[in-house]
Amino acid sequence: MCDPISIIGLAFSIGSAVANYQAQEDMANQQNAANDAWVAYQRRKSQEYQAQDEARRKDAEAGREGALSELSADKQKQAQANEQSRLTTALTPDDIAAMAKGDRLAVDKELLAGQQNGDQGIKGNIEAQIQAAAQESRKRIAALAAVQSYGGSQYGLTNRANTIFNAAGQDIRMASDMRQGDLAAYNVAKAVEPIKIVQHGGQSLGGIAAGGAKAAGGGLGNAMASSMGAFG
C-alpha cells in the first residue's frame, strides 16, 4: 500500500510541473504576441517614413522644377518686356509722354510762352527742334529702360532670377531639413526593442516548481526516516 506522504509529494510534483508548463506556455504566447506587435510597429514606422520621405523629396523636386519653369526662355522674355515697358513709363516725363500720344504742343506751349507774336518761321523751327529733342529723349529713355530691365531694376531679370532661386532654395532646404528630422525620428523608432515578458518577481515558475518539488521530496524523506526509526 502506498505511503500517503509519498502520494502527496507525487501529486505536488505533478501539479507543479503542470503549473510550470502552463505558465511557460502562457509566457511564450505573450512573448510571441509582443514580438508580433513589435514587428507590426516596425513595419508601420518603416512605411510611414518611406511615405514621408517621398513626400519631402517631391516637395524639393517641385521647388526645383518650379524655378526652372519660371526661368524658361519664354517667361524670361515676357518678364523683360514687361519690366522694360514699366521702366519706360516710369522714366518718361508727363509732357514727353503726352507728345508721344499726339499732343505736339504739350512742351511747346511752355517753352514758347510769350512768343506767340514772334516770327512764325522762327517759331516753327524752334518747335521742330523741340519735337526732335523729345523724340530723341524718348529713344534714350527706351534704351535705358531696356538696359535696366535686364539688370538690377526692381523687376529686372537679375533680381527676378535671384528671387526665384532664393525661393526655390528655401523650399529645397526646408524639405531637406524635414527629411533629416524624419530620418532621426525613424532611427529612434528602429531602436525600440520588443517587450520582454518576465514572470512576477523576476523568477520563472519553473524555478518555483522545482523548489516546491525539492521541499516535498525533503519532507517525504524525513517522514520515511521517522517511520523507519519507529520500527527500529
Query: What does the pLDDT average to over 8-13?
Result: 58
Distance between first and last Cα of the chain: 20
pLDDT at residue number 55: 95
Range with the lowest mean pLDDT among 16-20, 26-30, 45-49?
16-20
Rounded CA separation 222/230 (Å): 12
Q: Is the pLDDT of residue 180 over 70?
A: yes
pLDDT digits (tens, 9 = 90+) for 14-25: 666 666 767 788
When divided into structural domains, the chain yields a total of: 1
Please report the pLDDT score of residue 24 as a whole number.
80
Mean pLDDT to the nearest integer, 66-74: 94
Above 60 in pLDDT, residue 174?
Answer: yes
Residue 124, C-alpha cell as written in the block: 516753327
Residue 192 carries which DSSP code?
P
Domain with 92 in it: 4-231
Residue 231 has pLDDT above 50, yes or no: no
The pTM for the full model equals 0.59
